[in-house]
């Protein structure tokens, strides 16, 4: 049978989602925990390969197993063997052709900026601290120029393994909340470092270093060297992976009761 899971994790203590030789990936810890519950080896497939330091509130994964356990048993059993910075939120049996990565309709990431003169002790691992003034309206104006199906080569990491650089950026939302600014990006899929590279460029505009139209020029160039810096990993969180209703996958924020 195939089981789908909803997983959250604080990314600072992991070497990214993907399995690592040293066993430091979220995938490594999750497979080891589930194997204890299944009493058999388990291979997990995730919806997105988050980088080291990137968080998730709604990562989705699936695995195949011949062991029968209740959804609650998968959740409680896995969590009893996971480190405190990772947790399974729900589990459910899905159709054998469901795929956490390829069945997804879209992904949504949130990037958080903390804008104030002094650094934060409490949010040092959850936001990018900027001591200069940031204009949310300039952020939104520049971000709107990236919407649609486009070649995002200018915001792609050199190590990106995607076969094509085209992605459909469906929505960008900018929300100011006191000293915080939250940027949410919704797309069918993302390139390696795409959100962090976009944010690094948007911040140049928001601080007045570049005009909003500069983003359009960088995008059209396809040249990563012309874009801004790669924003720090700790400000980024995977907050939703959406699927068609017929798969029966719980929405973001769900948990097993």
Q: What is the pLDDT of residues 142-194, one digit of tens each?
A: 999 999 999 999 999 988 888 999 999 999 999 999 999 999 999 999 999 99
Q: pLDDT for 3-26, tens place per residue?
A: 999 999 999 999 999 998 888 999
Q: Beta strand 148-151 with 166-177: parallel, antiparallel or unpaired? A: antiparallel
Q: What pLDDT is attached to residue 22?
A: 86
Predicted TM-score of the model (pTM)? 0.95
What domains lie within the chain, and their CATH numbers? 2-103 (3.30.70.580), 106-238 (3.30.70.660)
Q: Which of 3, 6, 17, 13 is nearest to 83 (CA)?
A: 13
Q: What pLDDT is attached to residue 161?
A: 85
Residue 76 has pLDDT above 70, yes or no: yes
Task: Tell me the catalytic residues.
Answer: 51
């Amino acid at each position: 049978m195939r089981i789908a899971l909803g997983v959250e994790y604080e990314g600072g203590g992991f070497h990214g989602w993907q399995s690592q030789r040293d066993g430091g990936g979220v995938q490594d810890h999750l497979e080891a925990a589930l194997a204890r519950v299944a009493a058999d080896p388990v291979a997990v497939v995730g919806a997105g390969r988050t980088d080291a330091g990137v968080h998730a509130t709604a990562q989705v994964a699936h695995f195949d197993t011949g062991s029968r356990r209740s959804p609650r048993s998968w959740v409680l059993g896995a969590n009893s063997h996971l480190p405190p910075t990772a947790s399974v939120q729900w589990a459910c049996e899905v159709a054998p052709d469901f795929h956490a990565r390829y069945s997804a309709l879209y992904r949504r990431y949130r990037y958080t900026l903390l804008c104030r003169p002094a650094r934060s002790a409490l949010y040092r691992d959850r936001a990018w601290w900027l001591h200069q003034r940031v204009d949310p309206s300039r952020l939104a104006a520049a971000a709107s120029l990236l919407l649609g199906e486009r070649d995002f080569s200018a915001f792609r990491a050199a190590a990106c393994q995607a076969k094509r650089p085209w992605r459909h950026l469906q929505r960008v939302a900018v929300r100011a909340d006191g000293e915080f600014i939250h940027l949410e990006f919704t797309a069918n899929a993302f390139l390696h470092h795409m959100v962090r590279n976009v944010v690094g460029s948007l911040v140049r505009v928001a601080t007045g270093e570049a005009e909003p139209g500069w983003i359009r020029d960088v995008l059209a160039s396809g040249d990563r060297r012309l874009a801004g810096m790669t924003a720090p990993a700790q400000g980024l969180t995977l907050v939703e992976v959406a699927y068609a209703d017929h798969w029966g996958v719980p929405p973001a924020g769900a948990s097993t009761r």
